[in-house]
Amino acid sequence: MHTVNLNRRPRRAPAQLHGFSLLEIMVVLVLIGMVVSLITVNVMGRLEQGKLDTTRSQAYELAKSVDIYKLQTGNYPSTGQGLQVLVTPPKGKPIIDTLPKDPWNNDYTLIVPGQKNPTKFDIRSKGPDAQEGTEDDVGNWPAE
């Protein structure tokens, strides 16, 4: 005899798998691109500001070294002597071991008397454009 089980459900075919459409993939890629571009713009702006802050800090540190030179010798180095006199002074020990370069790999310059600090001196970096005497120069004076 053949029995029929009424509680048994009939077998179904496996469900079809659906993938993403090309349009959905393109929308996601565009959104990812927009997010990446916003992040890049913000990071690059902060990187440039970080370079300017680093340059200003180094200029102030070099200015302190020039003040120490004056204490040791009685006068500031001339513009012609430049900052190199901090590494190889005419007498005594060097004040610093090496002269740093600015973040754009340019040398700092010493200007006596200073244009921004007329009673003392300026330590100047050419800034991002590497041109001396332009608006983006950075040194031992407050940011404008």
Domain ranges of the chain: 36-132
Tell me the torsion sign for CA atoms 131, 132, 138, 139. Answer: positive
pLDDT of 45: 73
pLDDT of 6: 61
Tell how far CA 65 is from the center of its chain: 24
Q: What residues have CB less than 8 Å from 6, skipping those under 6 apart?
A: none
Distance CA 63, CA 69 (A): 10
pLDDT in tens, 8-55: 666 665 666 677 788 888 999 999 999 998 888 877 778 888 899 999
Residue 135 DSSP one-character state: T
Tell how far CA 132 is from the center of its chain: 20
Architecture of domain 36-132 in this structure: 2-Layer Sandwich (3.30)
Distance CA 67, CA 58 (A): 14
Return the number of other C-beta atoms located less than 10 Å from residue 18's C-beta.
6
pLDDT of 39: 86
pLDDT in tens, 87-143: 998 888 899 999 999 999 999 999 999 888 888 999 999 988 888 888 888 999 887
pLDDT of 4: 61
pLDDT of 16: 65
pTM > 0.95: yes or no: no
pLDDT of 7: 65
Bridge partners, residue 110, by sequence? 123
Candidates 71, 51, 58, 68; CA nearest to 124 is 58
